[in-house]
């Protein structure tokens, strides 16, 4: 099943938090803390202004984004969790230095 966001919304798959302890044990998802980064999986067409003009979204499918703790709505589909949020809730796009 595929999600197609409407208007100026995007669908994000939150990264899983992996933390390695001093002894080399990998600890997944620290209690109460969720990563604030994710991959953009789908992008809506944009926001429609009162005059009918379309303002396109500045993020694209495949971008890695940073967002706030309370951004969007978490939904579950086919046993996977996603966040559907307004594009305005994205704080930054992570640029690759390669």
**pLDDT at residue 10, rounded to an integer:** 97
Facing residues of 5 across strands?
A: none
The fold of the 9-94 domain, in CATH, is 10 Kd Chaperonin, Protein Cpn10; Chain O (2.30.33)
- Structural domain spans, the chain: 9-94
Neighbours of 74 (CB within 10 A): 13
Query: Whole-angstrom Cα distance, residue 8 to residue 97?
Result: 28
Each residue's pLDDT tens digit in the chain (98 positions)?
A: 688 999 999 999 998 865 555 566 655 555 556 678 999 999 999 999 999 999 999 999 999 999 998 999 999 999 999 999 999 999 999 998 65
Biggest CA–CA distance in the chain, Å, is: 60
**pLDDT at residue 16, rounded to an integer:** 80
Query: Whole-angstrom Cα distance, residue 74 to residue 96?
Result: 27
pTM: 0.78
């Amino acid at each position: 099943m595929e999600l197609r966001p409407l208007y100026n919304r995007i669908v994000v798959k939150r990264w899983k938090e992996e933390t390695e302890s001093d002894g080399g044990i990998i600890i997944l998802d620290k209690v109460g803390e969720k990563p604030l980064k994710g991959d953009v999986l789908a992008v809506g067409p944009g926001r429609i202004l009162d005059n009918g003009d379309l303002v396109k979204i500045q993020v694209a499918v495949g971008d890695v984004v940073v967002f706030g703790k309370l951004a969007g709505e978490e939904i579950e589909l086919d046993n996977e969790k996603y966040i559907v949020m307004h594009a305005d809730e994205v704080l930054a796009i992570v640029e690759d230095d390669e």
